[in-house]
């Protein structure tokens, strides 16, 4: 885990974390779509990850950069799930990526 996390990661105010802009780390990450999944290799740690369709959708959004709010809204629309479920899924996905040091907070 990164020693110094951006303030928006530590922010206790839910509204602030929803507005935090996240983007995939710019170096040492490679990924490819293979069949129905996305395969990711973290070259820093040699960690191999596999994403399902929903995870791949979020990953692609994070490649360009997105707020948590945008991810929730677009996941809900794309997969036809309610906002609460989408919010839980996005929070879990972001937490997983942060735990593995795959994200940068950009705003």
Task: Provide the percentage of residues in the chain whose pLDDT is more than 90.
Answer: 73
pLDDT by residue (tens digit) across 47-56?
Answer: 999 999 999 9
Q: What is the pLDDT of residue 61?
A: 96
- How far is the C-alpha of 32 from the C-alpha of 7, rounded, in Å? 31
Q: Give the residue with greater pLDDT, 103 vs 3.
A: 103
pTM: 0.81
Q: What is the pLDDT of residue 45?
A: 95
101 closest CA partner among 43, 31, 50? 43
The set of residues, in sequence order, having a beta carbon less than 8 Å from that of 21 and lying 6+ positions away, is 65, 66, 67, 105, 106, 107
Beta bridge partners of 47: 42
């Amino acid at each position: 885990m990164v020693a110094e996390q951006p303030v928006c990661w530590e922010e206790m105010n839910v509204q602030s974390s929803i507005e935090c802009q996240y983007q995939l780390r710019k170096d040492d990450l490679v990924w490819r779509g293979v069949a129905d999944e996305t395969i990711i290799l973290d070259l820093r740690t040699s960690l191999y990850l596999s994403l399902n369709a929903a995870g791949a959708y979020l990953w692609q959004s994070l490649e360009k950069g997105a707020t948590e709010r945008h991810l929730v809204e677009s996941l809900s629309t794309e997969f036809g799930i309610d906002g609460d479920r989408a919010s839980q899924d996005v929070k879990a996905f972001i937490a997983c990526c942060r735990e593995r040091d795959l994200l940068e907070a950009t705003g």
